[in-house]
Structure 1
Amino acid sequence: MNVYLVSILGILVLGTLLELLAGLVELRSLDPKLPAEFVGVYDPERYARAQEYTRASIRLALVRRTVGLALTVAFVLAGGFNLVDALARGLGLPPVPTGLVFTGLVALLAAAVQLPFSIYATFGIEERFGLNTTTPLTFVLDTLKGMLLAVVLGGPLLAGVFLLFDTGGPSAWMVCWLAVSAFLLVIQFVAPVLLLPLFNRFTPLAEGELRTAISRYAAKERFAVGGIFTMDGSRRSTRANAFFTGFGRFRRIVFFDTLLERLTTAEIVAVLAHEIGHWRLGHVPVMTLLSVLQTGLLLFLLSRFLDNPGLFAAFGMEHLSVYGSVVFFGFLYTPIAALLAVAVNGLSRRHEYQADQFAVAGGAGAEHLVSGLKKLSAGNLANLTPHPINVLLSHSHPPVLARIRALRPGAREPAGAVP
């Protein structure tokens, strides 16, 4: 039997089993007893709803993964990729446009499989638990805009990758690496101005106590920003959040309108101080560099599998191609990506603790940050007791209770907790 086919099927099955195991242990770790830290923040009824929301979300994720596994395996074994390739080649286009048609059709099939689950997650689960405010029209428009951006931005990038690997020789992966990295960095600069407004409305924060407090704190930290904005996050969800985006004069501080409704001025400044901590401590360039290095590793390994006959035979392909190599190598790269994600998420969790400490050291006030974290967790129906296995595998942020303990002098982590 083809060793690549065995490896790919093994990767798919083992990955699904790992996710199923993680989901099951998460369900079993749910504690119906409200943590003492959240007494007065979570009322017992809302806490029970939060746990039921976690259960519903995990169950849907497990069904989604299982169905995805079954359909993917069936598609591979039935020669589905070869049928798509025959359709793309039948148009009589040059290699690069043919590759774009092939990858576009594969992406559309994958999106079609995931669409019913996304609809149910939004209008079933999120709606039932009071988190969804997205209308069907907004959902459709978001989907279409996402597809359009994928074509407008992803199409030329992918075409460049295909062309470079097809004509660039042994060093093509390095040229590709530089081009892709440059593209991603440019996107980070222009996204705040050109891309994000396609989905949300950004309004300059009105003059008043909050803007004055934010400007005063940013000036104290010598943190230059291009503007302070509110975003109409309430158009899609009741969840609250805040973030920075962009670089240099394009850098913006953005608050969801839902966050401004829930947190006090002191709490918002504490959340802002945490985000500034990421910049001042160098977390943003470190994570960007790691992303660039991972892209380089991906492209280097991909270059070793271009036009590999055994890999193409595993998918029942009649023709070798650069674009097929890109798609099929993704299956082999999955476990490497998962291991890298575990390491990067571990570093990210460490950064979160450091940013918390930066905020406190800068005078934001530990209790203001703690109360802000509590309100955000309660408002978002967050799971307060995630299992350590899940934290290790997929959490970029530490559990909120672990962050609160770390913000309190003399606090210790509970036995078995993952930092």
Structure 2
Amino acid sequence: MTPTALFYLLIAIIIIVFVIDSLLDILNALHYNDDIPDELADVYPEEDYKKSIEYKKANYRFKLVSSSISLCIMLLFFFFDGFAVVDEIARSFSNNPIVIGLIFFGIIMIGSDILSTPAAYYNIFVIEEKFGFNKMSPKTFFIDKIKSIIMMMIVGGPLLALILWFYELTGASFWIYALGLVAIFTVAMNMFYAKLIVPIFNNQSPLEPGALRDTIEAYSKKVGFQLKDIFVIDGSKRSTKANAYFSGFGSEKRITLYDTLIKDLTNEEIVAVLAHEVGHYKKRHVIINLILSICLTGLTLWFLSLFIANPLLSEALGVETPSFHIGLITFGILYSPISEVTGLIMNTVSRTFEYQADDYAKNTYSNEALINSLKKLSRNNFSNLTPHPAMVFIHYSHPTLLQRIKNLKD
């Protein structure tokens, strides 16, 4: 294959992925006005349901426009040898391949973030604001952006530097050492994310003594779940949408409740949500997902090691000097169809795990309380009650509300 043929193959993959995603969005949008199933008739009052449809339509139009603009920018970057220009800039600072790689990806990441900022700002301060979800101030928005860039430099920079160093040191065998590094990092993030990363963006405080804490602790004792920490996070400073999550394992496991969740749900409904999260832990879903993630990363890195030394990967993007960082860009696009397949498999596994966690909550606490909580969360988040089956199959990591309710009532 010639560099020109590979270049146009890359363009074809980018366009095909865009077209497929857009067609899925269009199919999904055609179902917005479908009749609500009887099981979901009490989720929305009529006026709220109309508002939820308008919200979904607004997001659909926004995504179609913003993704089309992103595609055009990307194609222009390819056709005008943007990667070669950035590579030249990076090489003007150093001859060290590790430094060059860090500067190259730094320019790409920061440039991409700057270009995506107007769309993110519009989404939050126009669409989310219009429908009553946004609680974030412009100041918080830009501070979050700055914090994210700093975190990328502090955490992502050293990781990338080590991977580049492994490649320079070991050649094609770099993937083994890179996989070990990624595995250690993934486990560390799972264990300490809530302690180290979350406080940078949000305030967390222990759940105060009272009826809710007593009910949670009583349930935890009943099912033999040793719970060390229950925290409340100030999600309301950014959005009215509610959530809860379980993080860590072993001695570092904790449950985190959004303050909006405590506001929207009754104590019994909150405990039902937590029972679902405990189900994930009891069924070893956290560990299984961790292992699957590391295995998929290993597969990707192994494939990368087979092709990264081929100068064709760099030549296809108009770069004369072959390098790891340019080869990684080309490989990432070539690998994207495989990523779509592995992502589909992971979503299928995830939906299975959600059913199992729901079953655990149903058997150890209350199916009705969980059903009520799911309905409230769907209503308050303007969730789509009638998604297209293809969208669910390809992109949903959770079953639909209707599917979960039917399972819980079975």
CA contact (8 A) 1:192 1:250 kept: no
Q: Specify the alignment match of 2:405 in structure 1.
A: 404
Whether contact under 8 Å (1:166, 1:322) holds in the other structure is no
1:181 positional shift: 1.0
1:49-60 equivalent positions in 2, closer than 5 A = 49-60=51-62
Equivalent residue in structure 2 for 1:169, among 163, 168, 171: 171
* Residue 367 in structure 1 maps to residue 356 in structure 2: no
Write the deviation string for residues 320-362 of structure 1: whole angstroms up to 9, x where unpaired.
1112222221111111111111110011011111111111111
Greater mean deviation of Cα atoms: 342-351 or 321-330: 321-330
Q: Which residue of 1 aligns with 2:389?
A: 388
- How far apart in 1 are the matches of 2:295 and 2:44? 42
Matches of 2:50 and 2:256 in 1, distance apart? 31
So what's the TM-score if we normalise by structure 2?
A: 0.97
Residue correspondences, number? 408
After superposition, give the CA deviation of every residue in 1:56-107 in whole Å (9 maximum; x if it has no partner). Answer: 1122112222111111111111111010010110012521111100011011
- Confirm whether residue 229 of structure 1 aligns to residue 265 of structure 2: no
Report the alpha carbon displacement of residue 251 of structure 1 after superposing the two structures with TM: 1.4
Deviation at 1:222, TM superposition (A): 1.6
State the partner residue of 2:133. Answer: 131
Aligned partners of 1:169, 1:28: CA distance in 2, in Å? 50
Identity in percent: 38
Question: In structure 2, how many angstroms separate the alpha carbons of the residues matched to 1:367 and 1:331?
Answer: 46
The amino acid that maps onto 1:387 is H
State the partner residue of 2:320.
Answer: 318
Counterpart contact for 1:99–1:323, Cα < 8 Å: yes
Cα distance, 1:176 vs. partner? Answer: 1.1
1:29-74 CA-partner distances (Å, limit 9, x unpaired) = 1125444334444111111111111111122112222111111111
Alignment match, 2:337? 335
Is the Cα contact below 8 Å between 1:245 and 1:252 reproduced in 2? yes
Partner in structure 1 of residue 66 of structure 2: 64
Structure 2 CA distance for aligned equivalents of residues 246 and 57 of structure 1? 33
Equivalent residue letter for 1:304: L
SS class of match (1:354): helix
2:150 corresponding residue in structure 1 = 148
Deviating 4+ runs (over 3 angstroms)? 32-41
- Unaligned 5+ segments in structure 2 are none
Match of 2:203 in 1: 201
Which segment drifts farther, 340-349 or 161-170?
Answer: 161-170
- Distance in 2 of aligned mates of 1:357 and 1:188: 24
Q: Distance in 2 between matches of 1:16 and 1:323?
A: 24
Kept after mapping to 1: 8 A contact 2:34/2:386: no
1:286-297, aligned counterparts within 5 Å?
Answer: 286-297=288-299
Aligned to 1:303: 305
**Alpha-carbon distance, 1:312 to partner:** 1.2
Aligned partners of 2:219 and 2:164: how far apart in 1? 48
160-169 or 25-34, larger mean C-alpha shift: 25-34
Q: 1:28 is matched with which residue?
A: 30
8 Å contact kept, 1:232–1:256: yes
- From 245, 250, 253, give the equivalent of 2:252: 250
1:207 corresponds to which letter in structure 2?
Answer: P
User: Which one-letter code corresponds to 1:388 in the other structure?
Assistant: P
**Equivalent-residue separation in structure 2 for 1:365 and 1:186 (angstroms):** 34
Q: Which whole-Å CA distance do the structure 2 matches of 1:406 and 1:145 have between them? A: 41
Displacement of 1:236 in angstroms is 0.4
Q: Please report the TM-score for the alignment, with normalisation by the length of structure 1.
A: 0.95
